Amino acid sequence: MVYEQIEDMSRLLKSISHPIRLKILCLLQENEMSVGDIRDEVKTTKANISQHLSILRNQGIVSSRKDANFIFNRIADDRIVQLMKSMQTLFCSAEKESK
């Protein structure tokens, strides 16, 4: 593995490591969502969601589009969707099995 890729992966993992950002990415796996829709699901403030989305956008993890007064967010890279699904399979399924 090339060392530059390791640095990129490290930045990516740091960017998604916050619990709210992980929740956002879980929500965005299937559909794009507005900030308000994400806020309603994550149960935090619009400002907090916007701050976390900004971090994800700056890393190229999430992209957005504007439609009238709404900004819709989606995962920008299919590899992130694959990563999220792999983590859910490894950790969420294992949790269910161990109970």
Confidence of residue 23 (pLDDT cuts 50, 70, 90): very high
Count of domains forming the chain = 1
Beta strands in the chain (DSSP E): 33-34, 62-67, 70-75
Phi, psi for 74 (deg, rounded to 5): -150, 160
pLDDT tens-digit map of 39-86? 999 999 999 999 999 999 999 999 999 999 999 999 999 999 999 999
DSSP three-state, residue 67: strand
Q: Is residue 35 part of a domain?
A: yes
Rounded to whole angstroms, the Cα distance separating 36 from 12 reads: 25
Note the pTM of the prediction, 2 decimals. Answer: 0.86
Q: Is residue 1 part of a domain?
A: no
Which residue, 73, 42, 81, is CA-closest to 55? 73
Beta bridge pairs of residue 73:
33, 64
Full residue range of the structural domain in which residue 67 is found: 9-98
Q: Is residue 88 part of a domain?
A: yes
Q: Is residue 27 part of a domain?
A: yes
Q: What is the CATH number of the domain that holds 57?
A: 1.10.10.10
User: What is the number of other CB atoms lying within 10 angstroms of the CB of residue 82?
Assistant: 11
pLDDT at res. 93: 72
